[in-house]
Chains A and B, each alone.
Chain A
Amino acid sequence: MVRITRERQNFNFKIIVAFLFALILFLLGIFSGYYLNQKKIENIENLEKDILVSLQDIDVLFSEINESNICENKKYLDRIGEELDKYAIKLSFLEENLGKNNEMVIRLKKPYTILLIKHYLLTREIKNCEKIVIILFLYSNKPEYISLSENEGIILGYIKKKYGNEKIKVYSLDVELGLKNVENIIEKYNIKKYPSLIINDEVYSYLDKDKLENIIKDILEK
């Protein structure tokens, strides 16, 4: 047997150093992940505050508006509408990141949906000032409805981008939030399955892109 004399390399020490070094980097990563998560939660809290402010805003508008000045107040309504769009984008990212059934997401969606409905009620009044299409989109994230609901959501997003916010107002309402306002609408229009669309007071079930576009064109050209 040949005697093997390998040069010692201070192996244990170096391995421990490498391990600790890796551990420090790893923990740094975990902490920065935690920090970023914290930032996200802060963002959510800010979003919640913003929504509440908008709600107060729209309440003021509610109390001031009457039949004679409705068309003059349109610009205020549009401004709140822009905010609504902003909230919608942020909420959809939150849904993507945290999941559709996340507690925080659902908590945020409630005031947001109330804001939507209030905006919808006011927008309905200005229908007589100019030609617009108002779409109430009722969807559900229950397993039996979610796939079609998501599809309809994608189509509506596309339509909104194509025709612009000026002419098309889309209000997406989650029917599973247990909000009285939403349930009133469901009762009023006697809706049984989802997704359902209420376009200028007419009820439709799932519409693909072409059918939806035809309906919109009809209304706008009338």
Chain B
Amino acid sequence: MNLETIFIYFLVFFSLFNLSLIFIALMEKPFKKKPYKLNKNLPSITIIVPAYNEEKNISKTLRSLLKLRYPKEKLKIIVVDDGSQDKTYEKAKKFEKYGVKVYKKTNEGKATAINYGIKKTKTEFIATLDADSFPERDCLLKMLPYFEDKKVMAVTPAMVVYEPKNFIERLQHAEYLFGVFLRKIFANINSIHVCPGPLSIYRRKFFEKHGLFDEKNLTEDMEMAMRIQKYGYKIETAIDSKVSTISPRNFKGLLRQRLRWYTGYINNCIKHKQLFKIPQYEFLSLILIFAYVSIFVNFGYLCYISIKNYQLIRDNLRVLTLTGFDVLDLKNLNKVEILEFIFNYFSNPLVLLGLFGLSVTLLIFLIVKKETKERKVFLNVLIFIFFYVLFYSLFWFFVFIKYLTKQKVKW
């Protein structure tokens, strides 16, 4: 047994174990949605929109909020301008005639803006919404029924990328769709550990008992989710409640975002390290640990694929240089040669396993596509399948570099 074989066997078993866990979690509560209705008994809710230099998107976000189906007297919308240098404040101000409250404060970070908003309101539920995100009309109606369970302290939506056009956006579009599925699985085993910025609803009671958002945190939404888990409460997800959000458009922006997210993940894991006590936190601990294992699995997988591709390219280049780059017609291919190739290729267990994994991935995307009614996902899924591991490993690589050289990651 050489190192390569041991790694491959480990990779295979790890993947199969994860797959079995997903399957068990799926069986627990299949994709059943809560029924919802617009009526007078709905609870009061405030949507807080923290905004920093969002003049381009704030109007569209507020318009989408005004279109939400919800009793007007029960819904409050607050914009907290966190010291923008552009026209965010002025643009938001124009919506005051529709009942939107707009505040301006000095720039101290997103968490401070949300906390500022929370202190300005007394409603039973509090939602946070990034200023570059656009919820569908029925989002609140679909999410609130999950609070019937008194242990539920937060509900998250199905997040999708808003109008993906270029490569980076398409990659994220597929990644977010995959995330929708994962979050549903995590919800089934009460292991959600992020409440994403684009529309998460919280029970006010939790803030009163356990404090507001951590203002020094890189990923305050993750910290809040972990805190909710730490105190033994639940976080749910409404898979049919769709929120579109604008995601980084280029590699540099994406890298910046991921440095913040992943470093935030490490920091919050340290802050809430008791979540790693498996006997107490069960599946949640396991998933937090697996997240770390999967980083190394991804690195290893990437190396393996790179070496294999390098060998393939090298061998082909050798043939091409020796034959003077004269590619012979396909008709010259021998039938026996083709049959032997097919037999040899598909009798490799790793190829079969790869095909199995690919089918499972495609199946997951099919399920999510149906649930979220997203369209034109095929190209994005292809990009995801071919490039995600590369990007994911690259981001973690930068995180480790920053961590080892003790550079601070900023917002």
Chain B residues with CB under 8 A of A208:
322
A203: interface (CB < 8 Å): no
Residue of B nearest to A32 (CB): B349
Chain A at the B interface: mostly helix, strand, loop or mixed?
A: helix
A67 CA to B227 CA, complexed, in Å: 96
Is the interface on chain B under 10, 10 to 19, 20 to 34, or 35 or more residues? 35 or more
- CB-CB under 8 A for A210 and B324, given A6-B281, A89-B336: yes
Chain A residues with CB under 8 A of B234:
7
Smallest beta-carbon distance A151→chain B, Å: 6
Smallest beta-carbon distance A32→chain B, Å: 7
Smallest beta-carbon distance B10→chain A, Å: 11
Q: Do the beta carbons of A85 and B334 come within 8 Å of each other?
A: yes
Q: Do the beta carbons of B344 and A93 come within 8 Å of each other?
A: yes
Among the 9-residue stretches B14-22, B59-67, B121-129, B196-204, the one with 4 or more Cβ atoms under 8 Å from chain A is B14-22
Mask, B236-279, CB within 8 Å of A = 1, is 00000000000000000000000000000000000000000000
Q: Do the beta carbons of B322 and A154 come within 8 Å of each other?
A: yes
Within 325-360 of B, Cβ neighbours of A (below 8 Å) are at 326, 328, 332, 334, 336-337, 340-341, 344, 347, 349, 352-353
Residue count of chain A within 8 Å CB distance of chain B: 40
Residue of A nearest to B329 (CB): A161
A180: interface (CB < 8 Å): no
Q: Do the beta carbons of A22 and B13 come within 8 Å of each other?
A: yes
Q: Do the beta carbons of B349 and A89 come within 8 Å of each other?
A: no
- CB-CB under 8 A for A97 and B344, given A6-B281, A32-B349, A158-B323: yes
Smallest beta-carbon distance B393→chain A, Å: 24
Chain B residues with CB under 8 A of A9:
189-190, 282-283
Smallest beta-carbon distance B146→chain A, Å: 15
Q: Do the beta carbons of B328 and A161 come within 8 Å of each other?
A: yes
A7 CA to B154 CA, complexed, in Å: 16
Smallest beta-carbon distance B230→chain A, Å: 7
The answer, among B23, B151, B328, for a CB contact under 8 Å with A158, is B328
The answer, among A39, A151, A210, for a CB contact under 8 Å with B347, is A39
The answer, among A11, A97, A209, for a CB contact under 8 Å with B324, is A209
The answer, among A8, A30, A162, A209, for a CB contact under 8 Å with B322, is A209
Within 85-107 of A, Cβ neighbours of B (below 8 Å) are at 85-86, 89-90, 93, 96-97
The answer, among B232, B318, B347, for a CB contact under 8 Å with A36, is B347
A154 CA to B328 CA, complexed, in Å: 13
Residue of B nearest to A6 (CB): B232
Within 199-233 of B, Cβ neighbours of A (below 8 Å) are at 230-232
Residue of B nearest to A3 (CB): B232
Chain A residues with CB under 8 A of B328:
158, 161-162
Q: Do the beta carbons of B17 and A19 come within 8 Å of each other?
A: yes
Mask, A137-175, CB within 8 Å of B = 1, is 000000000000001001100100110000000000000
B319: interface (CB < 8 Å): yes
Chain A residues with CB under 8 A of B232:
4-6
Q: Do the beta carbons of A6 and B340 come within 8 Å of each other?
A: no
B24: interface (CB < 8 Å): yes
Smallest beta-carbon distance A74→chain B, Å: 22
B280: interface (CB < 8 Å): yes
A29 CA to B326 CA, complexed, in Å: 41
A32 CA to B355 CA, complexed, in Å: 15
B12: interface (CB < 8 Å): yes
Chain A residues with CB under 8 A of B319:
154, 158
Chain B residues with CB under 8 A of A192:
none
Q: Do the beta carbons of A22 and B322 come within 8 Å of each other?
A: no
A204: interface (CB < 8 Å): no
- CB-CB under 8 A for A36 and B323, given A17-B24, A26-B12: no
Instruction: Give 14 CB contacts A-B under 8 Å.
Output: A6-B281, A11-B282, A14-B21, A25-B16, A26-B16, A29-B353, A30-B349, A32-B349, A32-B352, A36-B349, A85-B336, A154-B322, A155-B322, A158-B328
Q: A4-B231, A93-B341, A158-B328 are in contact. List 17 more A-B contacts (CB 8 A).
A: A4-B230, A4-B280, A6-B232, A11-B282, A11-B283, A14-B21, A14-B24, A21-B24, A22-B20, A26-B16, A36-B349, A85-B334, A89-B336, A90-B340, A96-B344, A155-B322, A210-B324
Closest 10 A-B residue pairs measured CB to CB?
A33-B349, A18-B20, A11-B282, A4-B232, A21-B20, A22-B16, A22-B17, A6-B232, A158-B323, A36-B347
